[in-house]
Amino acid sequence: MPTIEKINGSIFKVVYGNPTNPVDVTLPYEDAYSGLKCEEINGKLQVIDAGKTIISEKDSKVDGGIFSVTFSYENAHFFGFGEKMGYLDKRGKHFKMQNMDNPLHTPDLDPMYISIPFFIAVSPKKPAMGIFANSTSYTFFKTGNDFDVSAKDDGIELYLIYGPKVQDVVGKFTQLVGKMEMPPAWSLGYQQSRWSYSTASEALDIAKKLRSDDIPCDVIYLDIDYMDGYRVFTWGENFKNPKSFSQEMKKLGFKIVTIIDPGVKVDENYEIYKSGKSLDAFVKDRSGKDFTGYVWPGRCNFPDFLRSDVREWWAKSHKSLFENGVDGVWNDMNEPAIVWTDSKTSKVFELMQKGEIDFQILGEAKAFFAQEDFGDEIVHKDDKGKIWPHFKVRNIYAYLEAMATKQAFEMYKPNKRPFILTRAGFAGIQKYAAVWTGDNSSWWEHLEIEMPISMGLGMSGVAFTGTDVGGFGGNADGELLARWTEMGAFFPFFRNHSAIGTSRQEPWSFGKQIEDTIRKYIKLRYALFPYIYTAFYFSHKDGVPVMRPLLFLDQDNENLYSINDEFLFGDSILVAPITRPNATWRTVYIPKGKWIDMRNGNLYEEDHVYKIDAPLDEIPIFIKENSMIFKTDPANYIFEKEKMNLYVDIYGQEAVGYLYEDDGETLDYKAGKYNLYEFAVGALSQGYTIGIKALNHGYAGKYKKVQMNFLNAPRQIIEVTLNGKKTESHFDGKTLKVEFEMEDVI
Ligand code: GLC
């Protein structure tokens, strides 16, 4: 029988058996809802809302070390599960949560890098319910009318989270596991990366070329080649003078993000290895020796991030990065990915030398590249000295590494916002890091599938997500890169990255026409910065993702559950990317409300499918009628200018919009040093009223000159009032413009 604990009006905690779990969730918080009940009826759990059963338990059992509970929720569709291949609606699937580096993202690949044992069951006209299995061990899910939630453990701790709306479930889930903090403003800009920028001058040349080609960009990434023989926290021969390198980068307006992998090279002459060894910081094998596995540097040991002293040592080790001007840290290979171990290699070589190749062993060796996790082989120890087999904590290895990395920022960059990018993680990873979806390929199929993957992450609490634009593996062509950049400009995280040995895919790699298109959409991203930053603010505050599926508009409309190739970016933008080569149009389903094509002002009606043109240099983008889009002038990089112009484009006749701003780099916003403005526009018979007020005014502000653009103003407008006073306006035959200084109205 489970124990049932009411956390608040919307959330029940239900514990079956004796689960082991080293991660705490943030509890409790207030919630005023009172209709939800969770009861045991005839020995089975029932979740009842306003008198109706919505979820009922059918069975619970232990089998082969796996604890399973089966529930039913009639006609359920399933969303979330963190990072998973496949479409948005995850009905009829089997999933495993086990952080894994499996670089070939085939349609049925499972598991992937991140484990978020959380999903939302949705059905028209029913309250959406979220289920979070708070287990750091491996978890398993089967979805259908009946669905199973299982863990490789002696029990399972579940949180049942009531909506009724899907976005409420996401918000409440992030109340439990934590929300994204405001990221540094620069991390919303375009970012350039490639595995192979192997000298400081090569990286500088890329930066200079971006500037001379007038392509806005905020960040250059340094992949493993900057290190000395892939030893983490070192600088190699080709980056001999990292400080002057970073100073030159800063002069050009670039930030630097360096990769850090968890594997520490076993090398008696290497400081980090020596200090780790003296702290006894590494995970052990079953015999009690430091576990050794092979990654980029060769033989490595792996920090035991379960221990707080190890996390502190790891945090301190970032000194060599931060004192040399590094701005952000990219945590990779942190599932952890281990390619090879001594015991397996020696077995294979022994057999090969004897001429007796055992195919079973070879097969086993091959499987290393795919599914090996060392779950039973590696041993951790926590702060209390408790021993944990790796499989029980593997899923939080990267989460704890990110926690340590955040600590490094606190140590060396106090009052600066951290920027951490991670490949692996667990529920709540958004508290520490942004997430990219790992090693995709330069395939059209991957361009397309990145939409539901990122939306799935967003529905699982991770708002700051993105993909390797252009594809990591394989060779991109110009058309693919152009289309991917058009789409990537509307993902929360926007970085072009590719693998060594593949064709180059910097913006200029495929000639002028492609570069012009790429520049156009990167500039649009920069123009939209005020809108995007505000969307991030609301995501930070409410947990609602920046990139959302259309079903957020109307979860009673089952048609929306299967729309995987359109998405919402913030409250008012609908994006419909081109996902096929040679395509110059596509069909677009228009959801609830009326939507206006941003390119030409054409108006589209809800619940219709339209054929929409999209030549190579255009992506269909629609703005919700009666909304406002806040823009600025694109610059070389975010906040290049101390004073910025603000443009407020009004689509429709009446709208309310919000604009958030702060200094973009410190933690001062937490103490109220930010501005949140409400802009309201109303239509009169022969004019408009504009009302602007500060809901919070705690920061000097960068937006000085404001221009409000009424895009569909009728010709006969004669009067506009601004905060109650008559003001001047100018009609250019198409758009009515009203201009003023922000300081005059606030
Ligand atoms: C992994 C990462 C990739 C990186 C490479 C080399 O494959 O996912 O982004 O470029 O390692 O560090």
Q: Which residue has the tokens 């709540």?
A: 428
Does the C-beta of 225 come closer than 6 Å to ligand 1? Answer: no
Short-list 117, 161, 158, CA closest to 16? 158
Cα separation, 362 vs 367, in Å, equals 9
Q: What pLDDT shows up at residue 31? A: 77
Tell how far the Cα of 195 is from the centroid of ligand 1, in angstroms: 7
Distance 658 CA to ligand 1 centre (A): 38
The CB of 177 under 6 Å from ligand 1? The reply is: no
CA distances to 58, 198, 217, 514 from 212, rounded to whole Å, are 65, 21, 11, 16
Q: Walk across the sheet containing 146-151 and list its strands.
A: 36-41, 44-49, 52-63, 66-72, 146-151, 139-142, 94-97
Contact between residue 322 and residue 352 where contact means Cβ atoms under 8 Å apart: no
Based on the residue annotation, tell me whether 335 is a catalytic residue of this protein: yes
Is residue 627 within 8 A of residue 680, CB to CB? The reply is no
CA of 640 to the centre of ligand 1 (A): 30
Burial class (CB in 10 A: 0-12, 13-18, 19+), 110: middle
The pLDDT value given to residue 23:
72
CB 70 within 8 A of CB 148: yes
List residues bridging with 94 in a β-sheet.
142
pLDDT of residue 674: 98
**b/e code 630-651 from CB counts within 10 Å (16+ = b):** bbbebbbbbbeeeebebbbbbb
**Alpha carbon separation from 409 to 185, 250, 316, 332 (Å, rounded):** 16, 19, 9, 17
Q: Give 439 Cα–ligand 1 centroid separation in angstroms.
A: 7
Q: Is the CB of 224 under 6 A from ligand 1?
A: yes
Length of the chain: 746
250/657 Cα distance (integer angstroms)? 34
* Residues in the chain, pLDDT under 70: 24-28, 347-348, 356-372, 717
Q: Is 282 exposed, middle or buried (0-12, 13-18, 19+ CB in 10 A)?
A: buried
223 ligand 1 Cβ < 6 A: yes
For residues 551 and 564, the answer to whether their CB atoms sit within 8 Å is: no
**CA gap 66, 89 in Å, rounded:** 26
Average pLDDT across the chain, whole number:
94
* DSSP conformational letter for 238: G
Ligand 1 atom nearest the C-alpha of 194 is: 10
Distance between CA atoms of residues 596 and 683, nearest Å: 19
Residue 262's CB is within 10 A of a number of other CB atoms, namely 26
- Predicted TM-score (pTM) above 0.85: yes
Decide whether any atom of ligand 1 lies within 6 Å of the 259 Cβ.
Answer: yes
Q: Of these residues, 168, 335, 377, 401, which one is catalytic?
A: 335
What does the alpha-carbon distance between residue 384 and residue 7 come to, in Å, rounded to a whole number?
Answer: 27
* 446 Cβ closer than 6 Å to some ligand 1 atom: no
Active-site position among 49, 157, 373, 439: 439
Distance CA 665, CA 192 (A): 20
Closest CA to 39 of 52, 22, 28: 52
Q: Give the number of the atom of ligand 1 that is nearest the alpha carbon of residue 500.
A: 10
Residues 561/610, Cβ–Cβ less than 8 Å: no
What radius of gyration, in Å, describes the C-alpha atoms of the chain?
26
State whether the beta carbon of 424 lies less than 6 angstroms from ligand 1.
no
Identify whether 336 is preceded by a cis peptide bond (ω within 30 of 0).
yes
- Under DSSP, the state recorded for 396 is G
Q: Give 676-687 pLDDT, tens digit per residue.
A: 999 999 998 888
Which pLDDT does position 357 carry in this prediction?
64
Active-site residue, from 332, 377, 468, 506: 332
Residue nearest to atom 5 of ligand 1 (CA): 195
- Residue 22: what pLDDT? 74
Structure tokens at 621: 């983008």
With a 6 A CB cut-off, is 261 part of the ligand 1 pocket?
no
Query: What CA–CA distance (Å, rounded) separates 174 from 687?
Result: 43
- Tell how far the Cα of 456 is from the centroid of ligand 1, in angstroms: 22
Q: Which long-range contacts (CB under 8 A, 24 or more apart) does 204-213 make?
A: 204/245, 204/248, 204/249, 206/506, 207/249, 207/252, 207/254, 208/252, 209/506, 209/508, 210/507, 211/252, 211/253, 211/636, 213/507, 213/508, 213/515, 213/519
The tokens describing 405, both together, are: 């990395």
